[in-house]
Chain A
C-alpha cells in the first residue's frame, strides 16, 4: 500500500509528497543532479522508480547542465519529463533553461529556492529564481505543502496543454517548505487519470515525421522567434486558469493566480510570494485585532504576471509594502517591488509603495517583521522621495 492510497491526510515531508505527486502524474523521465535543498524530491523519485512504483527512466546525470540538457532531450522525444534543482544548480543549467521554452517543451521543474553564493549558503531566499526571471518559463510559487503537492500534478496539466506547450517552474521555499512535515491529502489516482491523461503530442522527434528542432535564428527571424515565445508565455495564462479550475472541479481545492487575505478593505497591503505568506497571515490577524486595516496579497503566478488580477487585488489600498526575497545590487529596489511600481505608475490613484528585503539566505522572518514593514511603509511611502529598499533586520 502506497502513501498516496490514503484518503485521509498523511503526515509527510513536503519534498516526499511532491515526489509522490510526480509519481501520480506518471512522469516518464526524471533527469536530476543532487543539490540541497532539492535533493529529497529526486531521491524519493529514484526510490519510487527502483521499487517499481513509478515506471520511468531515472537519469542520474553528472551536472545540472546535463540535467536540463537531458530533460530537453527526453521532452523532445515525447516523454513526460521532470527535474528539480536549486540555487547554484539552477545557475549552472541557466543556459539550457533559456532554450527550453524556445523549443516549446513542457518540462516541469521544481526549484527549491535557495540563496546563491557567495558566500555559500544553502538556505532559503528567492535569489536563484530571480536571476533567471526572464527565462520564458511559466513560474509558480507555492505557499504550503498541500499546494506544492497539488501543483506538482497541475504543473503537467498546464505545461502539456496543447494550447500552452511551455515549460513550468514550480518554486517552493527551500527548507522552510521543502523539509517540513505537513498533513497532505493526496489527489485520488483514479481522478488523476481523468485530470491528467498520458502525454501525447505531435511536437516531438519522430522517425516517421522528421522535424528539425533548434535551428539557427539569423537576424531576419530572431526577433520574431523571441516575440512568438513571449506571445506563447502570455497566452499560457489562460492555460494556467484552466488547469486551476479543472483541478478545483475534480478535487475541490481552488487555486487563484493571486490570493488575497483580508485585503478587501485594507489600507495597507503586504505583497509577498511563497511560504513567507503563512507567517504574514498570522501577523495580519494580529494587526487586524489591534485595529490596523491591513491585508496580504500573495502572487502565486509570477510568470506570466497576472496583471489584471494583481491590480484588482490591491485596488483601493493606500500603501503597498512589497516584500522581496532578493535584491538587485546597484538598484534601489528588488525585482518584485520594481515590477509592482511599474504596473501602478500609470494609475491615477496609485498607492504609496515601499520595498522591504526579508529573509535572505535563510534569515528567520518573525511576525514582528511584518508589523515593522506595515509601520514603515506609511512613513517611507508618505515621504515621497523614498525609493530605496530596507533590508529588515540587517546588522550594519
Chain B
C-alpha cells in the first residue's frame, strides 16, 4: 500500500505555507515506514503529480479560503474536490491541484483514495512563519492524520528528541535535515514545551 502525505503551499506567505510547515512538523516528530511518502510539494501543482498518481491513499494538507474562523479544520473527500463542489476557492495553487486531479482521472492514474485536510488561514502576508493560530493547528492536524494512518494499520514511531535541542544548531539540523527553512521554528516549538 502506497501512501502520500502531500503538503502544499508557499512558505514565504505565512499561513499559505501551512501544508509544507505541517509535513516538516510531522517529519521532525515521527518515523514513518517506507511505503509512506511525506512530500513537501510547495506550490508545484501538476509538476509534483508523481506524488499523487497511482497512490492508494493521498492526504493533501493545504489551506482553504472559506468564510470560517481562522484555524477551522475542514476535511474534504476526493469527490468533493473532483466534482468541483468546493464551497469556495482554495489557495492560489489549488488550480494546479485540481487540474492535476482531472488529468489523473483522464489517464486512469488517480489515487484510489484521497482526502484534503485543510485549515482556514489567518494571514497570507509575506513572512516565513505561521500565524500563532495556525501554529497551534499543527497538532490538531497531526492528530487527525495519525488517526487516519492508524485506521490503515500504518505503524509510526515518535522520534526521541525533546532533550538536548538547545545544544547546537548543528544538532538540530541533524534531526531535520530536510527542513532548512523551518529549522528554527520547529526548534522553538519544542523548546516552548
A associates with B: no
Q: B: which residues have CB within 8 A of A?
A: none
Q: A: which residues have CB within 8 A of B?
A: none
